[in-house]
Amino acid sequence: MGGQALNLRGRVTIGGHIQTRRPGCRRLSIPEGPGDCYRVAQLDDTTALPRSRFRWAPPIELRVTARVSAPNLPGTWGFGWWNDPFSLQLGLGGATRRLPALPNAAWVFYAAPPNYLALRDDHPAQGLLAATFSSPQLPAPLLALGLPIVPLLMSPCTARAVRRVARRFVREDAVALPLDPTQWHTYGLVWTEDMVRVTVDGVVGLSTPEVPTGRLGLVLWIDNQYAAFPPDGRLRMGSSANPDAWLDVADLSLSRLT
């Protein structure tokens, strides 16, 4: 097992800040504001890279100690690995051009209502979750063939059918984490070829064979965003009014497993 050097870049909007609180501890914060604009403070190592050059693949372990400012913050926050599936940044802000892709992720993810990012109806999709998404690596031209479906998502009846079909391509697993996130907790995420395990203070919260595919990037963030594709098929996305909010992350490490 060997520690890996991290090369994280900060991204903030609308008054967001990333501050060093003490050696090894950073605070990601967003200011109070209405729901008419997106506010985010994020650290990641994906901004300037195509997905083919994302750094992380199994077997690997992430450890981080974290807390947030309040237990029921609007928007989302979390940390883990993902493939940044829905970005279309077109090179803005130094980012590489990147087309949407099917989601792959293994992370601790907090989602306040009305967020609902799950295709299966028997999985939790709100609150503090340990979760994974596992999707095939489809080429962008093949995904583009599905673009005519997008307008159909405006109809809840059709969207429910699309949601059922999507389950054949996007596998997932998730469990709720019943804890007080305003207190310091140490989170561990182990990603191997055939398993993802998430622990909190040494106790296993999730152990699943639904593992992400392909190379992923590291991300830690807090924002006021919501995206919902619930069982009723009413697709929604936007931003929520939020109070001053912050996520503290400390003792972050990534280790290759042997």
Place of tokens 């042997």: 258
Between the alpha carbon of residue 238 and those of residues 100, 192, 234, 241, 243, the distances in Å are 18, 34, 13, 10, 16
Per residue in 73-129, pLDDT tens? 999 999 999 999 876 443 333 344 567 889 999 999 999 999 999 999 999 999 999
Q: What's the pLDDT at 121?
A: 92
**Distance of alpha carbon 223 from alpha carbon 255, whole angstroms:** 27
Q: How many CB atoms lie within 10 A of CB 134?
A: 22
Whether CATH 3.40.630.30 fits 2-256: no
What are phi and psi for residue 139, nearest 5 degrees?
-65, 150
User: How do the domains of the chain map onto residue ranges?
Assistant: 2-256
DSSP assignment of the chain equals -EE-----EEEE-TT-EEEEEETTEEEEEE--B-TTS--EEEEES-TTS-GGG--B-SSEEEEEEEEES-TT-SSEEEEEEE--TT---TTGGGPPP-------EEEEEEE-TT-B--SSTTS--SEEEEEEEE-----HHHHHTTGGGGGGGGSHHHHHHHHHHHTTT-EEEEEE--S-TTS-EEEEEEE-SS-EEEEETTEEEEEES----S-BEEEEEEE-EEEE--TT---EEEE--B-SEEEEEEEEEEEE--
Q: pLDDT 10s digit of each residue in the chain, 258 long?
A: 457 888 899 999 989 999 999 999 999 999 999 999 999 999 999 987 889 899 999 999 999 999 999 999 999 999 999 999 876 443 333 344 567 889 999 999 999 999 999 999 999 999 999 999 999 987 665 555 555 566 667 788 888 988 898 899 999 999 999 999 999 999 999 999 999 999 999 999 999 999 999 999 999 999 999 999 999 989 899 999 999 999 999 999 999 998
Model pTM score: 0.91
